[in-house]
Chains A and B, each alone.
Chain A
Amino acid sequence: MSAAILSWAVTIAQIALAIAMALALVRMIKGPRAQDRVLGLDALYGNAMLLMLVFGIRTGNSLYFETSLIIGALGFVATVALAKFLMRGEVIE
């Protein structure tokens, strides 16, 4: 019974996260401002991290958590760089 609940929960979580990613994509494409696009990418990264976690839960393989770890630890670098670019006009000054 609980296995079935977990299985359903995982599937629903995956679909929900995919939809969240699709919504982030809409912001990335439509904008309208560059800041919206950057935030869209950041949200995409965050959702991808969670998707990996869910995937890890589904397969029971802890290796997938590491992909999440990398997105979590380093995924924000791209966002920071983009944000700084928007704020100052150059990334490293």
Chain B
Amino acid sequence: MNSENLLLLLILLPFAGSALAALLPANARNTEAWLSGCITITAFAIVVYLYPSISAGEILRNEIEWLPGSDLNFTLRMDGFAWMFSILVTGIGFLVVLYARYYMSPEDPVPRFFSFLLAFAGAMQGIVISGNLILLAIFWELTSIFSFLLIGYWHHNTAARDGARMSLIVTGTGGLCLLAGLVLLGYITDSYDLDHVLAAGNTIREHELYVPVLVLILLGALTKSAQFPFHFWLPNAMAAPTPVSAYLHSATMVKAGVFLLTRLWPVLSGTDEWFLLLGLAGMSSLLLSAYFAIFQQDLKGLLAYSTISHLGLITTLLSFGSPLAAVAAIFHMLNHATFKASLFMAAGIIDHEAGTRDMRKLSGLFSFMPITATLAMVASAAMAGVPLLNGFLSKEMFFSETLGQHSGSVLDSVLPYAATLAGAFSVTYSIRFIHTVFFGPKPLGLPREPHEPPHWMRRPIEFLVLACLIIGIVPGITIGPYLHTAVTSVLREYTPLYSLAVWHGINTPLIMSMTALIGGALLYLMLQNYLAQSEDGPPGIRQLKGQRIFERSLVTLSWRWARWMEDTFGTQRLQPQLFLVIFIALIAGCWPFLGTDPAFNLESTTGMDPAFAVLWGIGIACALGAAYQAKYHRLAALILMGGAGLVTCITFVWFSAPDLAVTQLLVEIVTTVLILLGLRWLPKRMEQIDDATTLIARTRRLRDFVLAVSCGGGMTLIAYTIMTNAELPETIAGFFLERAYSEGGGSNVVNVILVDFRGFDTFGEITVLGIVALTVYALLRRFRPAPDSIEIPEQQRIQNDFDDRHPNRKVGETVHDYLMVPAVLMQWMFPFIILLAVYFFLRGHDLPGGGFAAGITLAIGLLLQYLASDTRWVEDRLRILPVRWIGLGLLLAALTGMGSWLFGFPFLTSHSTYLEIPLIGKIPVATALFFDLGVLLLVVGATALMLIAIAHQSIRSHRARAIESAKTQEDD
């Protein structure tokens, strides 16, 4: 397989695995682990396989056209740096899966866990190897979403829910800023392609939009990498299962921010703004979080703050803008991932075996779990920067970089001291982690008796710690070449000379390291007793929590201000809303005519057909009558509206639009029944309206009347002008008329437009229709009628009383008698109506009809059965599952659209041909027919769902009444 397809496979494999994992049964812990393990190890193997070409300096690309017109392609691109990150994502992904197999308890619903984890791995891989800025932003947001889902995995836990929500809001908002920044970047360089952007460094730095771009991208990167002042979400994300913390919140996702900064380092860095913004964020994160980490009582909390601090170190290195600092940053990303992931896993083991993560309770665990303890010691020594471990190497590089000149300001002289101080803090919290947990007296009152974990749960840690050791002792021959590949792919011709040796002689960085080690150890000795008792959080500013500030501002923004807005500008009453809508529509309608001389060319029509004139008179009278009666005589208004609708249909026929007339007529019938169904539940007429006679009320009514008349009159005027004016500019109609048959294979132009030329629009419309139907259904499920319409209707009461009074009649017999003949007719009409629907459907492509008309016809047929007898009778005999019809229709339409992909055409390309059928002969068939069938199914489902949902209200109210009366009888 060639490397382009392998790149695609790297993305597809985890997502496919995720879909598969979601389908497995809830207790399939081993199968899930095997599946996820196989997928991650295969991805790892693919990445390793690609190394030869990567190390040769090649950039692998796979470009799939997506929206080439907007320069938005599904471009995958792997260079040395992306390769290094892919190794992290897939390799640590595999170790985490292995670890999670033993960490997750049999009671946990593991399919959800592994499914999200694999999907996250796919999204993260996507960030790493996307070669298009917009694609990168999409994968970026995907990781935020999966991080949200994984943090909230134990959603019965409040802390998990809150932490998940906070991380989503912070990283999601950052992601939006990032998207804006990337779009601006694309605007500056005229392309979203990463290679183009990377080649345009000078253009970007000199552009006037450089600062906005920088700020937006930094917002995205700093929120993702939990840098000060957006760091607070990471400690709260620790409510996630530990494998998630090890994978997302130390090794990969939080590194996405620094990954992006490194990726764009060649084009964005080197300016004062870059140094100041990034340097300040990085240094504050480095120093403050290291300080906070010392005072955490939760093991994972300590590790989380330490992660922020180490990411701050990387950010600070990147801010310097010198190539050597960038080398150190890339190296530290790798080192941090190895030791921090292993430390998180160790913390998970301690939590798992001892039952708590509180360092005030843990103590002297060394005798219970010596191997885990040793591993954790080595890993935290790497975190502290002890020589002969990988953390030492990159920290040493960091110290030597802080000594250089950067902006020439006071920051330069402060930097080395701040760096040493942060180093000392990290030594303190590393010692604390080890000393509190593993040494000291035996623990008292632990929830569980601690012991060593299963072998395989420890293997990932052993592997990672071994990596720390080997890299730390012989960096040059182990990690050296890989690091060099990564570094050269980022820095290209600016790659500096650097050496990865452990011993550089006695120099300033070494002295700084030693100072930090000794100072940190002394600081721990001083604080030891205080820490054993103290509360969670650093002294003095314990009250000042980022979390609380965040929640306060969230409440203010989304609750107080929102309520204020609603109270000030909102209204519950329909009249003002309608008034505003129509008023604004009127202004918008008049806007184009402002300042111009509106020359309405009102030609008088001559030679009008007398029958037609009478007809229109009828339509106008109906419409006016409906408007006049609407307030007090709803039924009369509805009947008159039916008349107006009918006249409209005849007008369509008269003007040679039979297809429109067919559809309109069917819609007219359904609408009448729909409104009638609703009429039953409307509140009764208010006999007395208090302010009917006051002056204000009369003025208001006059105002509304004037508004309504001017709006309606304006509409009439515009429509009349357009229709009577022959000299219109050429419209799109000609295009469709010409091509409907030659390209769409149908002579019913409207239908061809709907299912072929504008198939995508129709697809969107039927989706909306399905959503609307489901919403109506959902709303009506909880519908509570007004008190005055709960009563059984008067007519039914009288008829039931009549049945009751006569000893040889059952209740309901009257209506049955009345409906005897019509019901039989209506039931016998059913097959005929189905036939009519089939007829409309089949010939829809060439003559009036089509999926929509056929769907409504079928729905009317169903409706008729409900009318003929009662709901129970129909549903005993005919099981209608409208939701399935909707789903099936949508699926069929989508599949038809996707079918054209198989032949290499864009979505929803239609194909038409002639089919030879025995006895019938040649008939035209277009693939659009299947699409139309989807439309039909959906329309039937949606119409039936809405009508039946309203119809079921009656049954529900009957049932409620029955229960009520049973209760009162019991009480009596």
Q: Are B639 and A40 in contact (CB under 8 A)?
A: yes
Q: Are B635 and A64 in contact (CB under 8 A)?
A: no
Least CB distance, A9 to chain B, in whole angstroms: 13
Chain A residues near B615: list those with CB within 8 A. Answer: 18, 21, 51
Q: Are A19 and B636 in contact (CB under 8 A)?
A: no
Q: Are B672 and A67 in contact (CB under 8 A)?
A: no
Q: What residue of chain A has the Cβ atom nearest to residue B797's Cβ? A: A89
C-alpha gap A40/B796 in the complex (Å): 25
A-facing mask of B521-550, CB < 8 A → 1, else 0?
000000000000000000000000000000
Q: What residue of chain A has the Cβ atom nearest to residue B874's Cβ? A: A92
Interface centre among A11, A67, A71, A74 (most CB of B within 10 A): A74
Chain A residues 36-93 with CB under 8 Å of chain B are 37-38, 40-41, 44-45, 48, 51-52, 55, 63-64, 66-67, 69-71, 73-75, 77-78, 80-82, 84-93
Q: What residue of chain A has the Cβ atom nearest to residue B681's Cβ? A: A90
Instruction: Please tell me which one of the listed residues A11, A55, A69, A82 contacts residue B639 in the complex, with CB atoms under 8 A apart.
Output: A82
Interface centre among B611, B793, B832 (most CB of A within 10 A): B611
A28-B640, A66-B848 known; A78-B672 Cβ under 8 A: yes
Chain A residues near B612: list those with CB within 8 A. Answer: 18
Q: What residue of chain B has the Cβ atom nearest to residue A34's Cβ? A: B635
Chain B residues near A66: list those with CB within 8 A. Answer: 658, 662, 848
Chain A residues near B621: list those with CB within 8 A. Answer: 25, 29
Instruction: Please tell me which one of the listed residues B614, B679, B863 contacts residue A18 in the complex, with CB atoms under 8 A apart.
Output: B614
A6: interface (CB < 8 Å): no
Q: Are B680 and A90 in contact (CB under 8 A)?
A: yes
B446: interface (CB < 8 Å): no
Instruction: Please tell me which one of the listed residues A71, A77, A80, A87 contacts residue B818 in the complex, with CB atoms under 8 A apart.
Output: A87
C-alpha gap A40/B640 in the complex (Å): 10
A63-B848, A67-B661 known; A77-B673 Cβ under 8 A: yes
A18-B615, A77-B860 known; A28-B793 Cβ under 8 A: no
Q: Are B815 and A77 in contact (CB under 8 A)?
A: no
Chain B residues near A74: list those with CB within 8 A. Answer: 665-666, 669, 833, 836, 857, 860
B867: interface (CB < 8 Å): yes
Instruction: Please tell me which one of the listed residues A21, A77, A86 contacts residue B618 in the complex, with CB atoms under 8 A apart.
Output: A21
Q: Are A90 and B640 in contact (CB under 8 A)?
A: no
Q: Are B662 and A92 in contact (CB under 8 A)?
A: no
Chain B residues near A19: list those with CB within 8 A. Answer: 614
**Which range holds the interface residue count of chain A?**
35 or more
A37-B639, A48-B646 known; A89-B857 Cβ under 8 A: no
Chain A residues near B826: list those with CB within 8 A. Answer: 80
Least CB distance, A8 to chain B, in whole angstroms: 13
Instruction: Please tell me which one of the listed residues B642, B649, B795, B870 contacts residue A89 in the complex, with CB atoms under 8 A apart.
Output: B795
Least CB distance, B40 to chain A, in whole angstroms: 56
Chain A residues 1-39 with CB under 8 Å of chain B are 11, 14-15, 17-19, 21-22, 25, 28-29, 31, 34, 37-38
Chain B residues 593-621 with CB under 8 Å of chain A are 609-612, 614-615, 617-618, 621
Interface centre among A11, A29, A31 (most CB of B within 10 A): A29
Q: Are A89 and B614 in contact (CB under 8 A)?
A: no
Chain B residues near A64: list those with CB within 8 A. Answer: 653, 658
B794: interface (CB < 8 Å): yes
Chain B residues 696-740 with CB under 8 Å of chain A are none
Q: Are B857 and A67 in contact (CB under 8 A)?
A: no
Q: Are B661 and A17 in contact (CB under 8 A)?
A: no
Q: List the 5 closest A-B pairs by CB distance, nearest first.
A: A89-B793, A92-B951, A18-B614, A14-B611, A18-B611
Could you list some 11 contacts between A and B, CB below 8 A?
Answer: A14-B610, A17-B611, A18-B612, A25-B643, A48-B649, A48-B650, A52-B650, A70-B666, A71-B665, A80-B826, A88-B793
B residues at A contact (CB < 8 Å): 609-612, 614-615, 617-618, 621-622, 625, 635-636, 638-640, 642-643, 646, 649-650, 653-654, 658, 661-662, 665-666, 668-669, 672-673, 676-677, 679-680, 792-796, 799, 815, 818, 822, 826, 829, 832-833, 836, 847-848, 857, 860, 863-864, 866-867, 870-871, 947, 950-951, 954-955, 958
Extra pairs beyond A25-B621, A84-B867, A89-B793 (8, CB < 8 Å): A14-B609, A25-B618, A28-B643, A75-B669, A82-B639, A88-B793, A92-B870, A92-B954
